[in-house]
């Protein structure tokens, strides 16, 4: 950008010299260098904190779908990458054993209730014992609790979408046996309605950033497009600052420790192109974002120009 503005200055200076408005002396010959230094110290250095920019990435949660019961898969009804609503069926597990358990408990519960009614009638006729009534009542309560669990297990043989979204990983096939062990997931489900657009801002330039400020985003997958956004919040934590539960002593910082950028969450204000209207920005899509703070506002124009130049360069540059 400095080079671009300097070329404009040189072209303007050449016109002035051609029409003999300014003389071609040593000062004007060296003025482009002075112009570059002026731009550097007056605009481009203050722009780093007045309109800080950084790499941006879209994060989306991926839900590992693990069934609550074990069994053989009888059908897989979901399609890879097809939009799904919360509650849509993903796959079904053989329910025969779970249905049999429900039927067994219903039969035992029916008998226990009959026995309880008889014990109550005998107690009312003073030919029964309270102990038998209490025992049958406890049996009924126990069977009712077991039946609730069995019906829940039966219901969970149908595995459904946990949210609105789509499946990104699906290798499951009928006949495969699945379990409810959380050590392995069977389906990778992307939550469409939950996402976080994060831009990394270096610590030295973060001091003027605050929620509510306006921002702009250019994404690699949307060349030529500049999206308006708003700062939602700042994540004041980096991996270097995390103390994990451990028996090890944390490593003390040194002068060689590199300060990592902080994540600033943005919310897009503009509607996305039709091709992304249903899914939103995909997880892992990257680009550049700039935040326009309340400091050194004169530099915002330069940052806006730079960002739009990058948006158009995305047609040519793939990295």
Residues 124-163: pLDDT tens digits? 877 778 888 888 899 999 999 999 999 999 999 999 999 9
Task: Give the span between the Cα atoms of 229 and 213, in whole angstroms.
Answer: 9
Is the Cβ–Cβ distance between 305 and 312 less than 8 Å? no
Strand partners, 230: 214, 267
pLDDT attached to residue 127: 74
Per CATH, the number for 51-60+195-240+258-319 is 2.40.30.170
What are the extents of the domains in the chain? 1-49, 51-60+195-240+258-319, 65-191
Task: Give the span between the Cα atoms of 172 and 188, in whole angstroms.
Answer: 11
- pLDDT: is 240 or 311 the higher one? 311
Task: Give the span between the Cα atoms of 126 and 105, in whole angstroms.
Answer: 31
Please report where in the chains the tokens 């408005």 appear, as a residue: 21
Is the Cβ–Cβ distance between 153 and 69 less than 8 Å? yes
What is the per-residue pLDDT across 72-97, written as a single tens digit (0 to 9) for each? Answer: 999 999 998 888 999 999 999 999 99
Is the Cβ–Cβ distance between 247 and 212 less than 8 Å? no
**Could you tell me how many residues make up the chain?**
319
What one-character DSSP code corresponds to residue 43? Answer: I
Q: Which value, in Å, is the radius of gyration of the alpha carbons in the chain? A: 34
44-48, 49-53, 124-128 — which one is most confidently predicted on average?
49-53
pLDDT attached to residue 5: 66
Q: Which pair of tokens denotes residue 112?
A: 């226990």
Fold exhibited by the domain 65-191: OB fold (Dihydrolipoamide Acetyltransferase, E2P) (2.40.50)
Please report where in the chains the tokens 């300014």 appear, as a residue: 22
21-35, 127-141, 203-217 — which one is most confidently predicted on average?
203-217
For 126, the enclosing helix (H) or strand (E) is none
Please report where in the chains the tokens 């049996």 appear, as a residue: 139
Q: What is the phi-psi region of residue 20: left when phi exceeds 0, alpha when psi lies from -120 to 50, beta otherwise? A: left
Task: Give the span between the Cα atoms of 252 and 258, in whole angstroms.
Answer: 13
pLDDT attached to residue 10: 74
């Amino acid at each position: 950008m400095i080079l671009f503005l300097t070329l404009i200055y040189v072209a303007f200076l050449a016109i002035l010299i051609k029409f003999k408005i300014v003389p071609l002396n040593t000062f004007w010959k060296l003025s482009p260098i002075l112009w570059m230094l002026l731009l550097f110290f007056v605009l481009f250095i203050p722009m780093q904190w007045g309109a800080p920019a950084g790499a941006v990435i879209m994060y989306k949660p991926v839900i590992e779908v693990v069934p609550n019961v074990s069994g053989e898969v009888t059908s897989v009804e979901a399609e890879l990458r097809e939009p799904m609503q919360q509650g849509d069926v993903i796959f079904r597990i053989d329910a025969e054993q779970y249905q049999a358990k429900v039927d067994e408990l219903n039969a035992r519960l029916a008998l226990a209730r009959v026995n309880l009614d008889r014990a109550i009638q005998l107690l009312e006729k003073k030919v029964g014992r309270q102990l038998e009534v209490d025992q049958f009542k406890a049996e009924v309560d126990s069977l009712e609790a077991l039946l609730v669990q069995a019906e829940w297990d039966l219901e969970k043989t149908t595995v459904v979408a946990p949210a609105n979204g789509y499946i990104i990983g699906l290798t499951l096939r009928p006949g495969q046996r699945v379990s409810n062990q959380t050590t392995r997931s069977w389906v990778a489900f992307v939550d469409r309605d939950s996402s976080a657009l994060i831009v990394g801002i270096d610590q030295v330039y973060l001091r003027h950033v605050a929620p509510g400020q306006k921002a702009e985003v250019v994404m690699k997958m949307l060349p030529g497009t500049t999206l308006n956004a708003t700062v939602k919040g700042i994540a004041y934590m980096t991996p270097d600052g995390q103390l994990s539960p451990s028996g090890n002593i944390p490593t003390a910082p040194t002068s060689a420790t590199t300060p990592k950028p902080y994540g600033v969450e943005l919310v897009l204000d503009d509607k996305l192109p039709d091709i992304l209207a249903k899914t939103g920005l995909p997880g892992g899509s990257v680009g550049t974002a700039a935040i326009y703070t309340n400091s050194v506002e004169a530099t915002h124009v330069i940052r806006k120009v730079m960002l739009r130049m990058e948006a158009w360069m995305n047609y040519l540059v793939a990295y």
